[in-house]
Structure 1
Amino acid sequence: MKPSKAARHSHILAEVGQTPSLRVAELAARMGVSTETIRRDLDELTEQRLINRTYGGAVRSPGAEPAVGERHGLLVAERERIARAASARIKPGAMVMIGSGATTTHVARRIAIDHRRLTVVTHSFSVATVLALNPTIDVLMAPGRYLASEGAMVGALTTRFFGDFTADVAIVGASGLTAEGATDAMVEEAAVYGTIVSRAAETLMVADRSKFDQVFPARFASWREIGTLISDARPEGALGETIGRHGVELVLA
């Protein structure tokens, strides 16, 4: 059975997040469809500004990231393993701040299963929704301007709200991770993440390998501010060297 268009698009976005470039012929062979079908898929994703078309293939569009709804369907197994590892780091009765994103929502769902009597501050509606499955977890929702593509609140009201609290641990994801630190595709989201990191005694960065060496416009944390990276692979090159130099704990899920 040939994959649906939605499945093909998810596969293409997952692939382009992990490799520098994609080739039409290789994608067609892997998915068992014609090269014309793949070309139409790449054209549609280019129109959505998720990738850039090249001769014979495509590359990730600089500074672009799929909406959070699309990202929920990508790398699910990897994110579930990361979520289990992150949840295991939460201590009983902790005050936790959680940023928006697909991976952080997986973590929140796992926390709702594993823990009781936590207090969680978040600006993400998907995080708040999955935590609500556990009535013993007290969820504080940040105000602000609603950003539909991320299902989260952003802006000055949001950052001011987080600034009124001090957390035991912050759990954040990122659009990209480089030797310079964690970056996001959206400036307003990055401002919220930066505040979350600054208000926590410990920061857990939860990110799969597709985020390694990806550069996005807004940096919100350096590796000096991140205590632990929980991922499905070990970073290499300059990224791996920088993480080691700053004493960041690496947890492989």
Structure 2
Amino acid sequence: MKLSKAERQAKILNELSGTASLRVAELAGRMGVSTETIRRDLDELTDKGLLNRTYGGATRSLSSEPSVSERHTLHVTERERIAKATIPLLKDARILMIGSGSTTVHVARRIASEMRDITVLTHAFGVATVLSMNPTIRVLMLPGEYHAEEGATIGVHTVSFLDNYFADAAILGASGLSEEGPSDALIEAAAIYSAMVRRAASTIVVADHSKHNRIFPARYARWREVTHLVTDTAPDGDVARTTKKYDVKVRISG
């Protein structure tokens, strides 16, 4: 069956998630289309920032992902389910740290509706905004330089502020999950996530299936530092192997 353009491009991105590079001729042969068709697909995906075009092929993009406002429109149903599945892991928590991102905002919204009398430290304005709907939740906003695309504070002041606090759990999103651990496209945000991991008794990574087997520039934790991974689809390949090796408790939202 001939694939549509959208199906071809989705297949290209899926294949790039498991390998460092792809060749035009190989892709054309696998999909039964001309090399010119594949080149046009790669050019469009490059324009969207989803991969890097090379001579004769493409490599996966390690430098960027959409802004947090754009990410809020993607995989909404999956993220809502992930948020619901995360709440039972927090039943005994009194102090939380929450990182920036679209999935963490969904989790924060659930926290606001189902928890009370807790303290949350966050650098994300979206997280703070939805938590403010619950007057019993005390929110400490971390200082720092405002990063507009991420909707969060970043920088040395943010990290140093965290060094004065401890939390029962850190709740963190990720741009990608690989065998080495969760990683983020924004290096400055990853530094804050790493600080949260160090200051929390447990670390909960919340990430939908589109993040599986993808690598971004800044790894913020190794799997041995992660307590739970909450996702909508069971990971496979290297991510499945390494999470099992380090006894990460994988919770599938369904």
TM bracket (short chain): 0.7 to 0.9
d(CA) in 1 for partners of 2:220 and 2:115? 29
d(CA) in 1 for partners of 2:177 and 2:225? 13
Given the two structures, how large is their TM-score scaled by the length of structure 1? 0.81
Q: Which residue of 1 aligns with 2:111?
A: 111
Q: CA RMSD in A?
A: 3.1
**Cα distance, 1:61 vs. partner?**
2.5
Structure 2 alignment gaps of length 5 or more: 17-21, 29-36
Identity rate of aligned residues, in percent?
51
- Deviating more after overlay: 59-68 vs 218-227: 59-68
Q: Which residue of 2 aligns with 1:234?
A: 234
Structure 1 residue matching 2:100: 3-state secondary structure: coil
Answer yes or no: is the 8 Å Cα contact 1:93–1:116 preserved in 2.
Answer: no
**Cα distance, 1:169 vs. partner?**
0.6
1:26-85 deviation line (CA, Å, top 9, x unaligned): xxxxxxxxx9xxx6x986763453444589x98753332111111111111110000001
d(CA) in 2 for partners of 1:131 and 1:120? 9
Q: 1:47 to 1:237 in 2, by over 3 A?
A: closer
AA matched with 2:155: G
d(CA) in 2 for partners of 1:14 and 1:193? 29
d(CA) in 1 for partners of 2:188 and 2:161? 14
Q: Which residue of 2 aligns with 1:214?
A: 214
Map 1:89-168 onto structure 2 (within 5 A).
89-92=89-92, 94-168=94-168
Given the two structures, how large is their TM-score scaled by the length of structure 2? 0.81
- Number of aligned pairs? 234
**Cα distance, 1:94 vs. partner?**
1.1
d(CA) in 2 for partners of 1:177 and 1:19? 15
Answer yes or no: is the 8 Å Cα contact 2:98–2:104 preserved in 1.
Answer: yes
1:72-106 deviation line (CA, Å, top 9, x unaligned): 11111110000001122112561000000011011
Q: 1:239 to 1:48 in 2, by over 3 A?
A: closer
Structure 2 residue matching 1:190: 3-state secondary structure: helix
- Deviating more after overlay: 95-104 vs 175-184: 175-184
- Deviating more after overlay: 147-156 vs 85-94: 85-94
Q: Which residue of 1 aligns with 2:177?
A: 177
Answer yes or no: is the 8 Å Cα contact 1:14–1:75 preserved in 2.
Answer: no
Q: Which residue of 2 aligns with 1:205?
A: 205
